[in-house]
Amino acid sequence: MTIFQNIELPDRTPQPDRRRRGDPDPAIRPGHRRQPLDDPGAILGREPHFTRNLKSALLAAAVVLTAAIAGLMFGISKGHDQLALDTSQRMVEGGLKGFEERVLSLTRDYAFWDDFYRAALRDDVDWMYTNVAAKKGTESDISVVIAPNGRADFGWRSDVESAAPRPGLVPGDTLAQLHEQLERVPVTDRNGYSTFARIDGDVWLLAMSRVVPWNGIAPETPDNAIPRLVMGKRLSPEVLAEIGAPFLIHDLGWVADGAPRKTGLALRDARGTFIGSVSWTAPSPGARVLASIGLPVALITLVTVFVLVVAAFTFVGTAHRLENALIREQKANRAKSEFVATVSHELRTPVTSIMGSLELISSGALAASPEKTAEILAIAKNNARRLAALIEDLLQIQKMETGNLDYHFAPVQIGAAVERAIELTRPIASNFEVGITAAQFDPALHVRADLSRLEQVLTNILSNAIKFSHKGGDVLVEVAETPSGIRVSVTDHGIGIPQGAHDRVFAPFSQIDSSDTRKTGGTGLGLNIAKRIMDAHRGLIGFDSVEGEGSTFYIEMPRVSAPA
Would you state the pLDDT for residue 22? Answer: 38
101 domain-assigned = yes
pLDDT digits (tens, 9 = 90+) for 104-152: 888 888 887 888 877 777 777 778 777 776 665 567 787 878 777 666 6
Range of the domain at 475: 406-564
Same domain, 555 and 417: yes
Last residue of a domain, one of 245, 267, 286: 286
Q: Is the pLDDT score of 492 beyond 90?
A: yes
Q: Which of 50-54, 154-158, 391-395 has the highest mean pLDDT?
A: 391-395
The secondary structure of 45-86 as a DSSP string is TS--HHHHHHHHHHHHHHHHHHHHHHHHHHHHHHHHHHHHHH
CB 151 within 8 A of CB 125: no
Q: Is the pLDDT score of 555 beyond 50?
A: yes
Q: Is the pLDDT score of 549 beyond 80?
A: yes
Please choose, from the candidates 458, 418, 462, the residue with its C-alpha nearest in 3D space to the C-alpha of residue 555.
Answer: 458
Rg (CA), the chain: 57
DSSP letter assigned to residue 112? B
Would you state the pLDDT for residue 556? Answer: 95
- Helix and strand counts by DSSP (H, E) for the chain: 10, 16
CB 336 within 8 A of CB 9: yes
Please choose, from the candidates 247, 251, 305, 223, the residue with its C-alpha nearest in 3D space to the C-alpha of residue 88.
Answer: 247
pLDDT mean across residues, the chain: 75
The span from the CA of 225 to the CA of 356, in Å, is 149
Q: Is 534 helix (H, G, I), strand (E, B) or coil?
A: helix
CB 286 within 8 A of CB 79: yes
Q: Is 18 helix (H, G, I), strand (E, B) or coil?
A: coil
Which helix (H) or strand (E) element contains residue 88? helix 49-111
177 domain-assigned = yes
- pLDDT tier, 397 (very low <50, low <70, confident <90, very high otherwise): confident
386 domain-assigned = no
Would you state the pLDDT for residue 522? Answer: 60
Same domain, 419 and 278: no
Cis peptide bond upstream of 165, omega within 30: yes
CATH number at residue 280: 3.30.450.20
pLDDT digits (tens, 9 = 90+) for 167-217: 566 667 766 666 666 565 555 555 678 888 887 778 888 888 888 777 665
What burial letters (b/e) apply to 307-343, b meaning 16+ CB within 10 Å? eebeebeeebeeebeebbeebeeebeebbeebbbbbb
Would you state the pLDDT for residue 8? Answer: 37
- pLDDT tier, 552 (very low <50, low <70, confident <90, very high otherwise): very high
Q: Secondary structure of the chain: what % helix, strand, coil (to 5)?
A: 50, 15, 35
Average pLDDT over residues 276-301: 71
Last residue of a domain, one of 265, 286, 307: 286
Can you say how many angstroms the Cα of residue 311 is from the centroid of all Cα atoms in its chain?
14
Same domain, 280 and 415: no
Is residue 553 classed exposed, middle or buried when 0-12, 13-18 and 19+ CB atoms within 10 A define those classes?
A: buried
Q: Is the pLDDT score of 414 beyond 60?
A: yes
Q: Structurally, how many domains does the chain consist of?
A: 2
304 domain-assigned = no
Last residue of a domain, one of 286, 319, 349: 286
pLDDT digits (tens, 9 = 90+) for 352-381: 878 887 887 788 777 777 888 888 888 888
CATH number at residue 446: 3.30.565.10
Q: Which residue has the higher pLDDT, 495 or 522?
A: 495
Which helix (H) or strand (E) element contains residue 179? helix 172-182
Q: Is 514 helix (H, G, I), strand (E, B) or coil?
A: coil
The span from the CA of 184 to the CA of 178, in Å, is 10
Same domain, 152 and 282: yes
pLDDT digits (tens, 9 = 90+) for 496-517: 999 888 888 887 766 665 444 4
The span from the CA of 494 to the CA of 469, in Å, is 4
Helix 526-536 vs helix 370-402: crossing angle, to nearest 10:
40
Q: For every residue of 363-389, which 3-state class applies, written as one string?
A: CCCCCCCHHHHHHHHHHHHHHHHHHHH
448 domain-assigned = yes
CB 146 within 8 A of CB 111: no
Q: Is the pLDDT score of 33 beyond 70?
A: no
Would you state the pLDDT for residue 206? Answer: 84
Is residue 563 classed exposed, middle or buried when 0-12, 13-18 and 19+ CB atoms within 10 A define those classes?
A: exposed
Q: Is the pLDDT score of 298 beyond 60?
A: yes
339 domain-assigned = no
CB 146 within 8 A of CB 228: yes
- pLDDT tier, 259 (very low <50, low <70, confident <90, very high otherwise): low
The span from the CA of 499 to the CA of 72, in Å, is 55
pLDDT digits (tens, 9 = 90+) for 57-113: 767 777 777 777 777 777 777 777 777 778 888 888 888 888 888 888 888 888 878
pLDDT digits (tens, 9 = 90+) for 224-253: 567 788 888 888 888 888 888 887 777 787
387 domain-assigned = no
DSSP letter assigned to residue 130? I
Q: Is 543 helix (H, G, I), strand (E, B) or coil?
A: strand
Same domain, 233 and 99: yes
26 domain-assigned = no
Q: Is 433 helix (H, G, I), strand (E, B) or coil?
A: coil
Q: Is the pLDDT score of 540 beyond 60?
A: yes
CB 67 within 8 A of CB 59: no
Please choose, from the candidates 176, 159, 131, the residue with its C-alpha nearest in 3D space to the C-alpha of residue 238.
Answer: 159
